[in-house]
Amino acid sequence: MPISSEQQAEIDALRANPQQTLRTVSAGMEAHLYHAYDVLDHGFIRVVDYMGDDAAICQAARVSYGKGTKSVQNDEGLIRYLMRHWHSTPFEMCEVKLHVKLPVFVARQWIRHRTANVNEYSARYSILDREFYIPDPSQLAAQSVINNQGRGAALTDAEAARVLDILKGDAARSYDHYEEMISDDGKQGLARELARMNLPANIYTQWYWKVDLHNLFHFLRLRADAHAQYEIRVYADAICKVVADWVPAAYAAFEDYRMGGATLSSTALDCVRRMLNGDIVTQESSGMSKGEWREFQAAIGKD
């Protein structure tokens, strides 16, 4: 199960003992504190702690930029200005700490975002649970023929069933051997730090992950994107829902300028100007490569 009985008892105890505070709080985020949201078959995310809100972003910006922000009449407008002009430090004034349970292969993608503080469950010290990510049949697909790091057509029902049998069987056997190696029942067991090497990448791990809002937005821009791998995208989608309640003005600007917007090169902008003037622009006359042209066409809705 995603949350263990011990973890749930700890969460219940914390929620039953609220603390009075003088610090700034976000009403939207307070509603998420200590709630675990299921992700995949055994995973979850939950907010452990946070700092700051939309007002903290504006407070920092007005200290930093002084008179340069006086023309902005409200916090939402200032936040949109900061997002639009790629300012970063005001968003770093907000931080969040998440407790995440996720498959190891997802964790190895996630950890590439090196701008957070991470403390992971130690398989040297503790014994990992017998919990493995087994995909839903709908998520089993063949290798893409156009994208070397993506999926193509869905597997047939028969092929999906064969793959699931392999995944379940291999996971069960590897964990059986893991337990056998660390057992000291009548013989000297292997050290946990060595026995773990035999476990598959779909076993679940857990960590605490603390990150500021600027770097969290970068993570979400990449991992909540439709092109991201499904197994990490569902975690990013769950985090997006939390962030939208925590800093609604900042998240709305992020959705508008980062998730829903597009960055155009000077060459692409020149093509747009030529098109507005009535010129017919082709890939050959655009000055762009075929890949750039495809992306440009998609950005302006011509794909």
**For 73-109, how does the pLDDT look when each residue is reduced to its tens digit (9 = 90+)?**
689 999 999 999 999 999 999 999 999 999 999 999 9
Q: How far apart are CA 196 and CA 190, in angstroms?
A: 10
Q: Report the Cα–Cα distance between both ends of the chain, in Å, rounded.
A: 43
Tokens of 233: 């995208």
For residue 32, report the phi and psi dihedrals to the nearest 5 degrees: -95, -15
Q: How far apart are CA 245 and CA 29, in angstroms?
A: 6
Whole-number pLDDT of residue 33: 92
Whole-number pLDDT of residue 38: 97
Whole-number pLDDT of residue 303: 66
Q: Is the dihedral of CA 96, 102, 105, 106 positive or negative?
A: negative
Phi-psi region of 40 (alpha: psi -120 to 50; beta: other; left: phi over 0): left
pLDDT digits (tens, 9 = 90+) for 24-39: 899 999 999 989 999 9
User: Which helix (H) or strand (E) covers residue 101, if one does?
Assistant: strand 95-103
Alpha carbon of 244 to those of 64, 76, 240: distances in Å? 25, 14, 6
Alpha carbon of 209 to those of 46, 110, 113, 165, 188: distances in Å? 10, 10, 11, 33, 36
Whole-number pLDDT of residue 66: 60
Q: What is the CATH number of domain 5-128+203-259?
A: 3.30.1360.170
Known catalytic residues are 223
Residue 235's CB is within 10 A of a number of other CB atoms, namely 26
For residue 204, report the phi and psi dihedrals to the nearest 5 degrees: -85, 140
Whole-number pLDDT of residue 148: 80
Whole-number pLDDT of residue 294: 93
172-179 — which CB contacts under 8 Å span 24+ positions? 174/198, 174/199, 174/200, 175/130, 175/132, 175/199, 175/203, 178/128
Residues (pLDDT < 50) of the chain are none
Whole-number pLDDT of residue 145: 87
Q: Is the dihedral of CA 196, 197, 203, 205 positive or negative?
A: positive
Whole-number pLDDT of residue 180: 93
% of the chain residues with pLDDT over 90: 80
The three state secondary structure string of 249-271 is HHHHHHHHHHHCCCCCCHHHHHH
